[in-house]
Structure 1
Amino acid sequence: MMQIKFWGVRGSIASPGPETAGVGGNTSCVEVRCGSTRFILDAGTGIRKLGDELLTEGTVRATLLLSHLHWDHIQGLPFFVPAYLPSARIEVVGTTHGVGTLRDTLANQMAAPNFPVRLEDLGAEIAYREVRPGQVFDIDDVKVRVAKLNHPGGVLAYRLDHAGKSVVYATDTEHYACVDPALRSLAEGADVLIYDAQYTPEEYRGERGRSRVGWGHSTYVAGAELARAAGVGTFVLFHHDPSRNDAAVDDIERMTRQLFPSSLAAKEGLVLGLDAVSEAA
């Protein structure tokens, strides 16, 4: 009834190479299938391979939920092949937090001299929906809830509820001294929580390099605290630091499981069927 697949799991900038090949080097993109309804969470570089996969399945109908408009979350959109096809129907959902319109912001990254194809030249039927924190709306038989998170320039979290199952996507957020009450409410009882765990506590505090306080990202410890407080089923560590190699991600996954046993690190190709976890071939 609900399936989640990870196409891009890195934060800030793509980080290809042999030391990151196991986890993956593409920036944020997660596919959620709710029956016949398809959602795409963010359009980082991972959306390119997702687009190629969708082409093998026939006519594309999808809702793209954008957490925010920083480049690592939208830079894959010009390489999403279905957006060029007249048969495709795509609704883009997000907000600019008062800076222009959603469509204009996406058009700017494709404007000359940045890119040779303009947004208006894309062949797909693309609709735009600007949403606000606290909003609740339905896409087919899926209920979508929106919440505000803590990140420079603003960011949105989303909760998808379908047929008694639920997933929360909460990337690019900085924790507070206590569990964020808005995020705890959004994640209450969710089957899956996908959460920004870019830093270790030592990195965040500046014990290893520069302090990351105020940068708008969180730690695996804060994520585990949220998962416990909200009573979620599975906590997925997401938005891995681009400098973090595969072995270091595995180490963080292991430490997180000591705090919240039902935890795992997001990896490209990982599929969650809510009742089962598998690695895509």
Structure 2
Amino acid sequence: MTKPALDEFVVQFWGVRGSVPSPGFETIRYGGNTSCIEIRAAGKRIIFDAGTGLRNLGKELEGQTNLELHMCFTHYHWDHIQGLPFFDPLFQSGNSLHVYGQVPEEVRPMTLEEHFYHRVLHKDSPIPLANLETNIFFHELTCGETFKIGDAEIATAPLNHPNGAMGYRVSWQDRAIVYCTDTEHYPDHLDENILNLAKDSDILVYDAMYTDEEYHDPKSPKVGWGHSTWQEGLKLTKAANIRKLAVFHHEPNHTDDILDSIAKDLAEKSEESFLAKEKAIASVFD
């Protein structure tokens, strides 16, 4: 993998599965790793979440030196941090990692740095974390604030998820990619936080773990579990004038065949929208 081009603005998917890794013959085409995406904008490499997909990104970066990486966390549930101890660039001297995120209310007054070392990089990790070599810098965020990484502007907004989560909008050259995973829609209205964050964006990466039928299944309802559906994502996409919906955070029990069926239904309603697949790349300029 080469360094990001200065005129590049893309999202690449490294882990697209929700809740728990789901490897196997039935998940090969879409992938079984948990949440991790990379947005390359204005020559910067910005990573969102550190699920098990992060390990493969680290393998792609193998051999590169003096890396400057930026990692933003939506929240710290297991499926969003499991890959961190297996991220090879952390163990190479000369690299730098900038960590961005909010501190959960339940652990305050911990700083982001304390939270990262004591709760994200867990003491029970199978990797000897004392061997970390990269330089790590911490940027504690307050949900709702805007900041910059190089020439890219990053806006944030709260999401509807147990223990809280934060959505991100990356804007550059009048284009935007929005990442809103681990959020549950409301029964009687569209989420104003997401509508405002994603308005007129090019790509919305959205938590669509379930179908509407699964979400409301009377035998096993998913109401209150903190996740949404692709149909609700499509409503947001149309209401906020978003060009493409990227269906993300796939249910671990959804096989490739099930996801193919969802992709077919989605394409009938929105030609440019798609289901996220591991290693796939989507550009704002396509």
Tell me, yes or no, if structure 1 residue 122 matches structure 2 residue 129: no
Aligned-partner residue type, residue 181 of structure 1: E
Within a 5 Å distance, the mapping from 1:197-236 to structure 2 comes to: 197-207=208-218, 209-236=219-246
User: Shift of the alpha carbon at 1:116?
Assistant: 4.3
Q: Could you list the runs of 5+ residues in structure 2 that have no partner in the other structure?
A: 1-7
**Distance in 2 between the 1:111 and 1:32 partners?**
26
Q: CA deviation at 1:109?
A: 4.7
Equivalent residues of 2:65, 2:95 under 8 A apart: no
Question: CA separation in 2, counterparts of 1:111 and 1:133?
Answer: 24
Partner residue, 1:152: 162
Cα distance in 2 between the residues matched to 1:184 and 1:138: 21
User: TM-score, normalized by length of structure 1?
Assistant: 0.93
Instruction: Say if 2:195 and 2:236, in contact at 8 Å, map to a contact too.
Output: yes
Question: Residue 143 of structure 1: which of 148, 153, 159 is its match?
Answer: 153
1:70-85 alignment runs, 5 A limit: 70-85=77-92
Give the SS at the match of 1:167: strand
User: Which residue number in structure 1 is paired with residue 189 of structure 2?
Assistant: 178
Q: CA deviation at 1:202?
A: 1.3
Quote the residue 1:21 is aligned against: 28
Q: Distance in 1 between matches of 2:204 and 2:193?
A: 14
RMSD: 1.5
Q: Is the contact between residue 189 and residue 230 of structure 1 (CA under 8 Å) also seen in structure 2?
A: yes
Q: Which residue is equivalent to 1:9?
A: 16
Match of 2:207?
196
Select which of 69, 75, 82 maps to 1:62. 69
Check the 8 A contact 2:171/2:177 in 1, yes or no: yes
Query: Partners of 1:143 and 1:112 in 2: how far apart?
Result: 34
In structure 1, C-alpha distance between the alignment counterparts of 2:70 and 2:55, rounded to whole Å: 16
Q: Per-residue CA shift, 1:117-151, capped at 9, x if unaligned?
A: 23x54110001111122101111101000000000
Paired residues in the alignment total 274
- Counterpart residue identity of residue 19, structure 1: E
Q: Which residue of 1 aligns with 2:285?
A: 275
SS across alignment from 1:55: coil
| Whole-Å separation in 2 of the counterparts to 1:87 and 1:114 | 23
Q: Is the 8 Å Cα contact of residues 73 and 101 (structure 2) preserved in structure 1?
A: yes
How far off is 1:4 after superposition? 1.3
> 2: distance between equivalents of 1:111 and 1:196?
26
Aligned to 1:238: 248
Which residue does the alignment assign to 2:263?
A: 253
Distance in 2 (alpha carbons) for counterparts of 1:172 and 1:231: 21
Find the aligned partners of 1:32 and 1:112 in 2 and give their Cα distance: 29
Q: Distance in 2 between matches of 1:201 and 1:48?
A: 32
Q: Percent identity?
A: 39
1:92 counterpart = 2:99: yes
User: CA shift at 1:58, angstroms?
Assistant: 3.6
Consecutive unaligned residues in structure 1, runs of 5 or more: 277-281
Q: Do the aligned partners of 2:76 and 2:120 also contact (CA within 8 Å) in 1?
A: no
Q: Secondary structure at the match of 1:19?
A: helix
Alignment partners' CA distance in 2, 1:171 and 1:137 = 20
Match of 2:46 in 1: 39
- What amino acid is the match of 1:65? C
Paired with 1:93 and 1:233, the residues of 2 have a C-alpha distance of 27
